[in-house]
Amino acid sequence: MKRGKAPVVKEGGPMRIRKDDVVVVIAGADKGKKGRVIGSIPAVRKVIVEGVKLVKRHQKPTQQQRQGGIIEKEAAIDVSNVQIICSKCDKPVRIGGKKLEDGKKVRICRSCGEMLDLS
Ligand SMILES: [Zn+2]
């Protein structure tokens, strides 16, 4: 890949990926990995995905666990590096928006129109 100008980051507003979404990683070392979003940090536009970007951390011994040791924990990744998986299409899709009759905004799959906020 050619190294040119840095891509313009033009993201703002609320994040479209939320906790409990099932996403796939589309860039980086964990590309292709699927997982559930277990946390998000909107301030830095990052999400934590179950089983993705595991980093080893040293655990200090506690009273319950005298030995301490090394545990694996997920690190946050850029929200732009993941894409939501539509359960109907069973593939990564783009998210669209739709306003319901009661004024509530929901996210929909741009591919099939399925609502992504059913729960
Ligand atoms: Zn779909």
Per-residue pLDDT reduced to its tens digit, 61-78: 877 777 778 889 999 999
Gap from CA of 108 to ligand 1 centroid (Å): 8
24 pLDDT higher than 70: yes
Here the tokens at position 25 are 């990683």
pLDDT at 89: 97
Domain architecture of the chain: domains with CATH: 22-60+69-109 (2.30.30.30)
What pTM value is reported for the model?
0.78
47 in Cβ contact with 76 (< 8 Å): yes
- Segment 94-118 mean pLDDT: 92
Q: Find the length of the chain.
A: 119
Q: How far is the CA of 95 from the centre of ligand 1 (A)?
A: 9
**What would the mean pLDDT of 94-116 be, rounded to a whole number?**
94
Percent of the chain beyond pLDDT 90?
69
The answer, yes or no, to whether residue 55 has pLDDT greater than 90, is: yes
Average pLDDT along the chain: 88
**Residue 84 near residue 22, CB atoms below 8 Å:** yes
Decide if 114 contacts 104 (C-beta within 8 A): no
Q: How far is the CA of 118 from the centre of ligand 1 (A)?
A: 13
If you measure from the C-alpha of residue 104 to the centroid of ligand 1, how many angstroms do you get, rounded to a whole number?
20
Taking the centre of ligand 1 as the mean of its atom positions, its distance from the CA of residue 105, in whole angstroms, is 17
Q: What is the whole-number distance in angstroms between the Cα of residue 25 and the centre of ligand 1? A: 17
> 86 with 112: CB under 8 angstroms?
yes
